[in-house]
Chain A
Amino acid sequence: MTNIQQYIDSGVLELYICGALSEEESKAVSAELKKHPEIVKEVEEIETALEHLSTAVAPYNPDALLQKIQEKINSSTNTIPIDRDRRSSKTKIVLYIGWAASILLLIGLFSVLNKNRELRDTLNSVQTKNALVEQEIENARDDAEKAKELLNVYRDRNIVKIPLGGQKVAPEAYAEVHWDKKSNKVYIDAKDLPTPPPGKEYQVWSLTLKPLTPTSIGLLSNFQEDDNKIFILENANASQAFGITLEPKGGSKTPTMEQLYTLGTVS
């Protein structure tokens, strides 16, 4: 116990959080942290204090920048190369404008400084709201497109509909498979499957009978977030039946038969 207190009092934890230790030294501190909750508590407090200090140094809360960052992330899915030349020349112009604006501001703005701040706060919240609305419109558009596609599936006579009835573990469960043999797509309507427990997800199997051979065709991932509970999967198998089992997240190589929720044969 005195040992731990000595360790804490040595000041090594402060250096650890500042990033002033070598990699080896940091690793050693991390290992101590895993062993002693008293050290974790101490580290959290130091960290919180420094977090507050640097937050106080920030000229304002940069919430409004989040949207820009997300746009940049979305526009390049992989890594983002930093184009320094373009950035600096752009910054230059922005900066000149910025300086000019600052001078103007300084001349006339002392009295309206507070108002300016209020406006910026409003602007920030409006920008955030805009971003949210845009996202909602985009989601709605995606949903509409999906709905159109699904309507075509229901109308197409060449698509085979296979009802999957509930099995022992979940007699009330029900799902439907719509199998488009031309495009090798299956549409799983999983509206009547219970929400999977945390850490589990549904896995869809194509089955051929005699001998019974299951082939996984995919997972019903993000089940809870999916509003219409319709999942589109690829299936190039000569399926004679379809089954849905509950498996650990990420799926299994072979179906867990005790967790077979629904099953149906292709007529």
Chain B
Amino acid sequence: MQPDGLIAELQQKNPKAFERIYERYSESTFGIIYSIVNERTIAEEILQDVFIKVWDNAHAYDSSKGRFFTWLLNIARNASIDATRSKSYKNKRKNLTADFFVDILEEKSNFSKKTDAIGIKKYIEVLKPVCKKIIDLLYFKGFTQADASKELDMPLGTLKTRNRNCIKKLREILVP
């Protein structure tokens, strides 16, 4: 559930509310950032910048425009993509292949308590390659629906229903 009361308190600059928002969203935000930059130190720095932005600009969040989670997701993706464009980042990552969330999950062995580790691994196993690509573009990389449909050479309607079915699998595993 979206904690609307907490978000309102955050917008009134309540530091306690900020702490609880951080507890609730920091790990998922960290995952988004890490899936883009793939480097822990940089991901940590970006996470800090993102939550400072959340504190400074909380008043700018408007529930009539979208979900708080989406708002946060946008800030995190933009900050991460900005970072990947910096020169120092490019130098550092020159010799590494581009990863995406599936690789990270497949390589990962220690999961924190917040997630259903077995469930997520199972999810990746059953996920069709096209699903992996769609979720990567729409969710982790923040493509617009038009851009994703072009990139995947897939009509918009097909993209929408496929994306829904891909996420549905994940829901079935997490909420049996």
Binding site for B on A (CB under 8 A): 9-23, 26-27, 29-31, 43-63, 65-66, 68-70, 72-73, 78-80, 82, 84, 87-88, 91-92, 94-95, 98, 117
Nearest CB in chain A: distance from B112 CB, A: 5
Nearest CB in chain B: distance from A93 CB, A: 10
Enumerate chain A residues within 8 angstroms of B86, measured Cβ to Cβ.
84, 88
- Residues 1-16 of B at the A interface (beta carbon under 8 Å): 1-2, 15
Is B84 engaged at the interface, CB distance under 8 Å to the other chain?
Answer: no
Query: What is the bound-complex CA distance between A80 and B49, given in angstroms?
Result: 9
- Residues 99-138 of B at the A interface (beta carbon under 8 Å): 101, 104-105, 108, 110-112, 114-117, 119-120, 123, 135, 138
Given A22-B144, A98-B41: A52 in contact with B174 (beta carbons within 8 A): yes
Binding site for A on B (CB under 8 A): 1-2, 15, 18-19, 22-23, 25-32, 34-35, 39-45, 47-49, 51-52, 55-56, 63-67, 69-70, 73-74, 77, 86-88, 92, 101, 104-105, 108, 110-112, 114-117, 119-120, 123, 135, 138-140, 142-145, 148, 159-164, 167, 170-171, 174-175
Enumerate chain A residues within 8 angstroms of B114, measured Cβ to Cβ.
55, 61
Query: What is the bound-complex CA distance between A62 and B26, given in angstroms?
Result: 7
Can you list 13 residue pairs at the A/B interface with Cβ under 8 Å?
A12-B160, A20-B142, A20-B144, A20-B148, A44-B1, A51-B25, A54-B28, A54-B101, A58-B27, A62-B27, A69-B48, A72-B52, A117-B110
Query: What is the bound-complex CA distance between A62 and B143, given in angstroms?
Result: 26
Q: Are A11 and B66 in contact (CB under 8 A)?
A: no
